[in-house]
Amino acid sequence: MSVKSSNKISIITINYNNVYGLKLTAESVLNQTFSNFEYIIIDGDSNDGSKAYLQTITRDNFICISEPDSGIYNAMNKGIEKASGDYLLFLNSGDVLENDNVIETIQPYLEQDISVLSGNIIFNENSGKRLREHPNKMTFSYLVGNAISHPSTFIKKSLFVKYGNYSEEYKIVSDWAFFLKVLGLNNESYKKIPEVISIFDTKGVSTNSDNLKSIYAERQLVLKTFFPRIFNNDGDTLIFNHFIHQNKRFRMLKEIENYSFFRKVTTLKLKLILWFAKLFSKPSK
């Protein structure tokens, strides 16, 4: 039985020529036990059968647009403009809600009047499933060096009214820039939801290794725009790149901890390094 709430949610899905992923996403949304939410699908004039599938969806509070767009954030902004919910969740084609009770489970958190609510997310990777948790307390270093996961984050729509929609100047990092703006520059409230919200499609643009250089370049441009007085030389760029790479190494070490074999190999290597260090540091007689 569905529970009614005054905090209506708008779930926004953008899609382009990914009918298989679109079906997975839509079904995970349409199967929710909680029904008091709005579902918006923005399709970029697909020609792979996506539009035909969209015509089969018949539910209340469903909005569908299929027309050409100029990119990911242009499509997301169309969804924002159509949304009437207090909170927005962006669940793009290929991403799915983790179970049928997700939207019902998170209702109490939406009553707390928090600007940004981030739950846990599962990355479905070739090596297996990886759980990613956001921090209990948001920090500047986390905002700069990481990314708040869109498919597991509920954002107050009023933030877009107050600070503007996603910048269409950037092709990959506008959501990162938005969170940096609202949480870092404007001190909006944040809270972690200790629940798994979604399973992330790792074949997306932002996780494609071929796009890493573009991501770094766009992030540096954002920092220069937000902090022109202090992020203004090659040294700042070097420090930023080093910080990002250090975060990647830290995440890699955390991944190693999940596998006993690699953990044992890493421990053995460290012991050997320490043994050689002690051996060569002994004073000669």
- Looking at residue 106, its pLDDT comes to 95
Q: What is the mean pLDDT of residues 248-266?
A: 46
Of 68-77, 240-249, 270-279, least confident by mean pLDDT is 240-249
pLDDT bin (cut points 50, 70, 90) of residue 254 is: very low
pLDDT in tens, 1-13: 344 445 699 999 9
- Looking at residue 279, its pLDDT comes to 61
Q: What is the mean pLDDT of residues 228-248?
A: 57
| pLDDT of residue 90 exceeding 70 | yes
Chosen CATH of 9-211 out of 1.20.120.160, 3.90.550.10, 3.40.50.460, 1.20.140.10: 3.90.550.10
- Looking at residue 192, its pLDDT comes to 97
- Looking at residue 242, its pLDDT comes to 46
Mean pLDDT, the chain, integer: 83
- Phi–psi pair at 245, nearest 5 degrees: -65, -35
pLDDT in tens, 150-193: 999 999 999 999 999 999 999 999 999 999 999 999 999 999 99
Q: Would you tell me how many other CB atoms lie within 10 Å of the CB of residue 70?
A: 11
Contacts of 157 (CB under 8 A, 6+ apart): 10, 80, 83, 85, 86, 87, 88
| pTM of the predicted protein model | 0.80
- Looking at residue 233, its pLDDT comes to 64
Q: Is-contact 149 194, C-beta < 8 A?
A: no
Task: Enumerate the domain spans of the chain.
Answer: 9-211, 233-285
pLDDT in tens, 134-153: 999 999 888 888 889 999 99
Q: Which residue has the higher pLDDT, 263 or 37?
A: 37
Q: Would you tell me how many other CB atoms lie within 10 Å of the CB of residue 243?
A: 13
CA dist 270 and 76 (Å) reads 47
